[in-house]
């Protein structure tokens, strides 16, 4: 696989374990690290390697070859000091991309200052995603890219059926761009402008959240 990445996940709480097992299920090499031996034994069947170690011990992480990984996921948030230290160590050892879980806005700012490339609030992000799905009932799926922009899967509405993307002119009508189309498990990237829309098809669109809301309201 071209540009294949190797991942190390530090901390095997619910979030860390979910990330590690999902990456492994997609055939990526994953090293899982936690200081709890029982948890390490549990995840060892699902990931490439699972090691009991202190994620704040620089010598231990160096011995495990931390510098050879492309992405580190610091999945600790309940212990802010350990989270910050693990992030610092990962960056000092040359990991190109570090994702860190935060528990507060202050924690987020500190993680960014010490080098985290991306800081996540999994519970908050899931909450936003679910809330958007509940309030925008024509949305099939919703992925927030930032505070302002999202990628959305939206059902082909009744009034769109039998029309082409060219006729609908989503960019001028709604201020959004169609980047793909899904029917069942089949996905078409950048469908042609003359594609007729049919019942059961899902449009994959990207745009400003305010504009996306207009699509849901305009039924």
**157: how many CB neighbours lie within 10 A of its CB?**
15
Q: Are the beta carbons of 31 and 69 closer than 8 angstroms?
A: yes
**What is the pLDDT at residue 151?**
80
Is the per-residue pLDDT at 141 higher than 70? no
What are the tens digits of pLDDT across the range 18-67? 899 989 988 899 999 999 999 999 999 999 999 999 999 999 999 999 99
How far separated are the first and last CA of the chain, in Å rounded? Answer: 43
**What is the pLDDT at residue 144?**
59
Is the per-residue pLDDT at 86 higher than 70? yes
Q: 125-217 in CATH: which number?
A: 3.30.70.1450
94-109: burial string, b at 16+ Cβ within 10 Å, e else: ebebbbbbbeeeebbe
Q: How confident is the model at residue 2 (pLDDT cuts 50, 70, 90)?
A: very low
Pairing of strands 149-155, 176-183: unpaired
Q: 6-120 in CATH: which number?
A: 3.40.50.720
Question: For all residues of the chain together, what is the average pLDDT?
Answer: 85
Domain ranges, ordered by start, for the chain: 6-120, 125-217
Is the per-residue pLDDT at 216 higher than 80? no
**150: how many CB neighbours lie within 10 A of its CB?**
22
pTM confidence score: 0.62
């Amino acid at each position: 696989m071209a540009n294949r990445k190797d991942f190390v996940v530090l901390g095997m709480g619910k979030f860390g374990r979910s990330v590690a097992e999902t990456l492994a299920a997609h055939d990526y090499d994953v090293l899982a690290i936690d200081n709890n031996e029982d948890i390490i034994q549990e995840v060892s069947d699902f990931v490439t390697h699972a090691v009991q170690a202190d994620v704040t011990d620089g010598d231990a992480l160096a011995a495990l070859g931390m510098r050879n990984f492309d992405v580190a996921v610091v999945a600790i948030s309940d212990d802010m000091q350990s989270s910050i230290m693990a992030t610092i160590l990962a960056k000092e050892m040359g990991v190109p991309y570090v994702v860190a879980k935060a528990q507060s806005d202050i924690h987020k700012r500190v993680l960014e200052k010490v080098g985290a490339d991306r800081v996540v609030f999994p519970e908050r992000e899931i909450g936003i995603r679910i809330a958007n799905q509940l309030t925008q009932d024509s949305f099939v799926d919703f992925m927030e890219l930032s505070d302002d922009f999202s990628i959305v899967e939206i059902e082909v509405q009744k009034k769109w059926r039998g029309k082409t993307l060219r006729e609908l002119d989503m960019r001028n009508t709604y201020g959004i761009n169609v980047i793909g189309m899904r029917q069942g498990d089949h996905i078409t990237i950048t469908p042609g402008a003359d594609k007729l829309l049919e019942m059961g098809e899902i449009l994959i669109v990207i745009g400003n959240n305010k504009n996306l809301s207009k699509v849901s309201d305009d039924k």
